[in-house]
Chains A and B, each alone.
Chain A
């Protein structure tokens, strides 16, 4: 409680609160603009935030993380172009609402539902983090290594459309993570005799390359120079929105539960949560359990509220493994964990014990960020809608320079830029050939955690590999990994059989 109150006091300092609000506004802006994403914004912000105190740096990062979840709905509703993948489901009913002249109501519902989903899931996560955190300190090195491998397997299987390619990407990330001087023996590994590589692959430059440079390269191969025309009538009455949200409390609750649960599972992400809750609304409309004469595709307001509640509720769920085990669930949380490492902190079971003020600060900020995002959304709704008219090609060009100079700022050498460009080109080709970029990033981040715990476990037991099968946690992890593999084998066999049947 003492640390909780101390962290709350830190966050309520004018500078930190202002940074949280600024981060939320920036996150909304990033979410509004199609082509920009939360991982990209976080990767670009880390070099800027690195000069601050850790708590202040995380205020702006968390504000951006939460803000982007809400911002994505703006362009989804007004232009049928989701600002973030998480808002794709919102566009299904949000855009038809805008076409019916209800753009303001749809935006208000999205903002309100985002706040409710994010806040409720945070309230659920608070006690769970305490319980899991107490339990997590008893986890052994072997357990931690297997939890890390399980997270990689989960991300590999869920973030792309092909498990094997996801695993290849994750293993590639692990290989890159081993570059540099080995911590246990002091021996240089895979450095190709380059003194630059003695310190390992610079994490920040690699992340900027994978999430910012690669995204720009992917987008410019598709984007054209154009000025979009978002739908008009974006005014709404706050009282009417509150009344609407009260009427929709059941779908909001379901969306929040879906998002909170899926947030805990690495690799599932906000977009899946949004689509699942949209599927729930669709089913309810088909069964006639939602009042009104609108069919799906004609602007059902619940089809905006439920996905928005769900994709924001993911933030609460994702906080649990991130803060208690040091396991990130997606690209954004992976970058935030990487930022913790850059500050010399070790996320994981001992994080709350070793850095309680920062750990509780991050936890509390995640809750307050929902409120600052709500405020920022109401304050800046008009300018953000106007910004939607910005030329996408210009935006991408500016982001490219931000990425390059940002990667220089992270190391003050052009070596950082070289790494960002190299990883950007690698990310571009990985995307084109269907390999998961988040899986590679996660491998890069979890690599040191998995390797050190794997080796420590073997060192303690003098090389006895049975250590990985003796605890219940390890066994559960192995069973889930085996299940993922078995499911893939079964799906591949079934697809092969169906294809043969078609040819016959």
Chain B
């Protein structure tokens, strides 16, 4: 089996596991009474549909009736994951520090780091860009919209 098919089957199994988790989480809701269906029925119906389709897709892939429809992790240049990963780490830090660090310095640091990770060069453009973008964000959210940051 090709690497892409393997990866897709793995993601489909994660989806099936997620559907099973929904069934587990809604196990305590009762069944239908007098036409009133239980609060757990619709989530189970949606999760069941999702899990069933994932199984069908996996079977089609394993029997080679269907082909993987994505480019495949194996074909990704792993280097292309560096920036999204860096951005995800940066966003996590920003979220964690949002309530403890004042908005202005936190945002300047975030914008500078984001531009750096995204490849803005040379340094002069990086610094000027950070100053302009941070000023714009400060004016928009703090001065204009008065967001409680």
Contact = CB atoms under 8 A, between A and B. Distances in A.
Interface in A221-241: 221-225
B47 A424 contact: no
Contacts of B110: 401
Interface in A308-354: none
Interface in A428-460: 428, 432-434, 447, 451, 454-455, 458-460
Interface string B21-52: 01001100100101111111111001101100
B30 to A, nearest CB: 10
Given A171-B46, A394-B129, 17 more contacts: A162-B69, A164-B57, A167-B49, A171-B47, A174-B46, A175-B43, A187-B29, A216-B87, A217-B84, A220-B84, A223-B118, A398-B111, A401-B137, A428-B84, A447-B46, A463-B34, A496-B64
Contacts of B71: 432
A204 to B, nearest CB: 14
Interface string A392-408: 01101110111011001
Contacts of A496: 64-66
Interface of A: 48, 51, 161-162, 164-165, 167-168, 171-172, 174-175, 178, 182, 184-185, 187, 189-190, 192, 213, 216-218, 220-225, 391, 393-394, 396-398, 400-402, 404-405, 408-409, 412, 414, 417-418, 421, 424-425, 428, 432-434, 447, 451, 454-455, 458-464, 492-493, 495-496, 499
SS of B interface (majority): helix
Looking at B15, B81, B83, the one whose CB has the most chain A CB atoms below 10 A away is: B83
B149 interface: yes
Contacts of A434: 69-70
Looking at B80, B98, B137, the one whose CB has the most chain A CB atoms below 10 A away is: B98
Given A397-B133, A433-B8, A454-B42, A418 B120 contact: no
B114 A190 contact: no
A492 B99 contact: no
B148 interface: yes
SS of A interface (majority): helix
B22 A168 contact: no
Contact of A408 (B11, B50, B147): B147
B17 interface: no
Nearest to A409: B147
A175 B47 contact: yes
B47 to A, nearest CB: 5
B53 A432 contact: no
27 contacts: A161-B69, A167-B53, A172-B50, A174-B46, A178-B43, A184-B36, A217-B88, A218-B84, A221-B81, A223-B119, A225-B120, A225-B121, A393-B120, A397-B118, A398-B136, A401-B137, A404-B94, A405-B107, A405-B141, A408-B147, A409-B141, A432-B76, A461-B35, A463-B32, A492-B65, A492-B66, A496-B66
Given A174-B46, A400-B91, A463-B34, A168 B57 contact: yes
B95 interface: yes
A396 B117 CA distance: 11
A189 B39 CA distance: 7
B62 interface: no
Contacts of B91: 213, 400, 404, 417, 421, 424
Contacts of A433: 7-8, 11, 70
